[in-house]
Structure 1
Amino acid sequence: MHKIPGYEDDPLVDGAYLVDEPLFWATHLLQCTGGVEDPLCAGFGVGEADLWQFYGRISGEGQWPVLSVPLSAGHLLHVVYRNFPDDQGFDYLLHHPEWKTTVPLATVEGCFRGPGLCWSELLAVAHTTAEAGSPLPFDPRIFLLLLPIMSDAELPSDADDVLAAMLTACGATGDTGALARILLEKQGCWGPQHWTLTPDGRISEFRHAFRHPAAMSSDALAQVTSLLRSGVDA
């Protein structure tokens, strides 16, 4: 279990086991629908009561699951289920074992901050973590894990098909095309947003974003962009 600055006194647990739980993805993607469960239950073929029971299990204050995505040069992208009593949220942040602090990408909660990355960056991270020899060019688990903080007003024409394939790979058994369209229309707390690639890095034009010059230094913006950059970015 990686140590995360700022969470030393919190009951963090390794949440890697969750990705194999049948109800996890439908529950995790509630972040994308604002808590609306109907399309997720239909897409994954799960019951509403079962979904919310599982949600209660992973949002209990006694344990805060952490799922970590390896990036280049030892950097990690942590997803922390921050389970304060009656104030549950999700923190997405970058860290390196040598850093004394983390770099926040997004926070999904009532007072949300984000988005955290654009579509091409989501593809880049999922491609980097894909297993050798896999029939899919992207790691579907990483793709869905980070989907809640993706926002992009300029999605490519095949975005629905790509997401539908990721949903199927992670156990969705219903109409994955319909679910993909819903998820990409809603795009979490912030809806579709525009990004601008500047000399200091890629910035979000959304005022609630961490990746904005008003919230993040130029050095940090450049570092985040470098860690998440796709080799085919324009």
Structure 2
Amino acid sequence: MSIGVHIPEYLQDCELVAGEDLARDPAFWLAHVLLTMGDPDDPSEPYGVDTTAYDAMVDRLGDPDQPWPVLRVCFDGGHTVHAVYANGEDENNVDFFIRHPRWGRLGHLGQCGADEAGPGLSWTELLTIATSTQEGGEGLTNPSERLLLLLPMLGDADMPGDASDTVARALSQCGIRAEAARDLAATLLGEQDPASGPRWAPTGDNPIAVCSSPYSPRQVPLALGISPDQAQALATALSSPASGQAEVMEHQRDEHSTGRRS
């Protein structure tokens, strides 16, 4: 039985249900990245995913007659990222936003689908959220799953050289055939243009980084209107020390090398 999810600030006339159970199926992860970042009609066999299972997952994720699946990622400071598969009769979107129960509003990261908007996260922010050690709350706990869920929101001109390797390991951990994961990761990340790609930096008195892209909701500080203390807490939660990230991603690499899933 699906568990209902209540998001008071998400003003949509729809039924929301927890979708984390979908993450157990490699078909979900292939469908998620191809629907939001690639070509959903790509054959699934090269990636080690059963074609029938993949097609059924695509149909479920886009079914307007079903409750909308919500997948959540809790991270430091009591913040939660939500990814909502929002399915209308005429269009489908995946909405990404951050929520804190004390804000009274949502911090919009962007959308994939009919109403494209983004990017919503820098590489540092993506890796920070994926590797957050925050305990408690609901949602995904596996760093690889957390990274892939939020990957569609990534946009950053200043990417590290090992970014594609990190994404490839995450894909492999989530059930994508290892031999195909590297090529898929390169395709999903694409070519980042250091000269004209999105850049991130705080401006003015707000500590939360904003994005240079004209298509990003984060041209203004995320969750604009929250208190200064709340803004500082969010900025801190989005930029934890790189050493902590490295430790968790090293654990991910060890899990990958032994063929185990956390």
- 1:168 and 2:172 equivalent? yes
The SS at the match of 1:93 is strand
The amino acid that maps onto 2:39 is: G
The SS at the match of 1:35 is coil
Change (3 A) 1:15 1:2: same
The SS at the match of 2:218 is coil
Aligned pairs for 1:4-153 (under 5 A) are 4=7, 5-7=9-11, 9-38=13-42, 41=44, 44-46=47-49, 50-61=53-64, 62-129=66-133, 139-153=143-157
Q: Is the Cα–Cα contact under 8 Å of residues 164 and 186 in structure 2 kept in the other structure?
A: yes
RMSD: 2.9
Cα deviations by residue, 1:51-71 (Å, 9 ceiling, x for unpaired) = 233211122122100011112
**1 CA distance for matches of 2:175 and 2:23?**
11
- TM-score normalised according to structure 1 size: 0.82
Change (3 A) 1:141 1:192: farther
**1 CA distance for matches of 2:222 and 2:109?**
11
Bigger Cα displacement from structure 2, 7-16 vs 222-231: 222-231
Q: Is the Cα–Cα contact under 8 Å of residues 143 and 166 in structure 1 kept in the other structure?
A: yes
**1 CA distance for matches of 2:63 and 2:101?**
27
- 1:180 and 2:185 equivalent? yes
The amino acid that maps onto 1:58 is: L
Q: Give 1:202 deviation, angstroms.
A: 1.1
Q: Is the Cα–Cα contact under 8 Å of residues 59 and 88 in structure 1 kept in the other structure?
A: yes
**2 CA distance for matches of 1:43 and 1:123?**
27
Give the counterpart of 2:238 among 224, 228, 233: 228
Bigger Cα displacement from structure 2, 95-104 vs 157-166: 95-104
Change (3 A) 1:220 1:210: farther
**2 CA distance for matches of 1:97 and 1:230?**
21
Q: Is the Cα–Cα contact under 8 Å of residues 76 and 134 in structure 2 kept in the other structure?
A: no
Q: Give 1:196 deviation, angstroms.
A: 2.6
Aligned length: 223
Q: Is the Cα–Cα contact under 8 Å of residues 153 and 192 in structure 1 kept in the other structure?
A: yes
Cα deviations by residue, 1:75-102 (Å, 9 ceiling, x for unpaired) = 2111111111121101111112233321
Change (3 A) 1:111 1:43: same
Q: Give 1:230 deviation, angstroms.
A: 3.1
The SS at the match of 1:17 is helix
The SS at the match of 1:29 is helix
- TM-score normalised according to structure 2 size: 0.74
Bigger Cα displacement from structure 2, 103-112 vs 217-226: 217-226
Q: Is the Cα–Cα contact under 8 Å of residues 68 and 85 in structure 2 kept in the other structure?
A: yes
**2 CA distance for matches of 1:110 and 1:46?**
26
Q: Give percent identity, aligned residues only.
A: 32
